[in-house]
Amino acid sequence: KPRRMVVVRAEAINPDIKKDEAKVVDSVLVTELSKPLTAYCRCWRSGTFPLCDGSHVKHNKETGDNVGPLLLKKQ
Ligand code: FES
């Protein structure tokens, strides 16, 4: 099994989302989800942050990273 090389850089993980705020926090009441499945971004690259728009795929290809969204499912 090939081993992955992990490169750790000392830089901000958030490139440009809500940089005027001291800390970015989003909260969601799961009972209020309108769709059966909602994907929330964890790569900080989404153009629709806090929702995932698939930008993590490009980020992972370019960097060798392995980030993906948080999936919330409505019961
Ligand atoms: Fe960031 Fe999908 S775009 S996790």
Please say whether the dihedral angle defined by the alpha carbons of residues 48, 29, 21 and 24, taken in this order, is positive or negative: negative
Report which of residues 29 and 58 the model is more confident about.
58
Residue 1 lies in a domain: no
In the residue annotation, 1 being an active-site residue is answered as: no
Residue 57 falls within a domain, yes or no?
A: yes
Note whether residue 65 is domain-resident.
yes
Q: Is 68 in the pocket of ligand 1 (CB under 6 A)?
A: yes
The count of domains in the chain is: 1
Closest ligand 1 atom to residue 45 Cα is: 1
pLDDT at 40: 93
Please indicate, yes or no, if residue 8 is contained in any of the structural domains.
no
CATH number of the domain residue 53 falls in:
3.40.5.90
Q: For 1-33, how does the pLDDT look when each residue is reduced to its tens digit (9 = 90+)?
A: 777 776 666 677 888 888 898 888 887 777 777
Given 1, 18, 19, 23, the catalytic residue: 23
- ipTM higher than 0.95? yes
**Token reading at 61:** 């290809």
- Determine whether the shortest distance from the Cβ of 43 to ligand 1 is under 6 A: yes
Residue numbers of the domain that contains 46: 30-73
Residue 18 lies inside a defined structural domain of this protein? no
Using CA atoms, how far residue 55 sits from 1, 3, 7, 46, 74, in Å, is 27, 25, 20, 5, 23
Q: Is residue 60 part of a domain?
A: yes
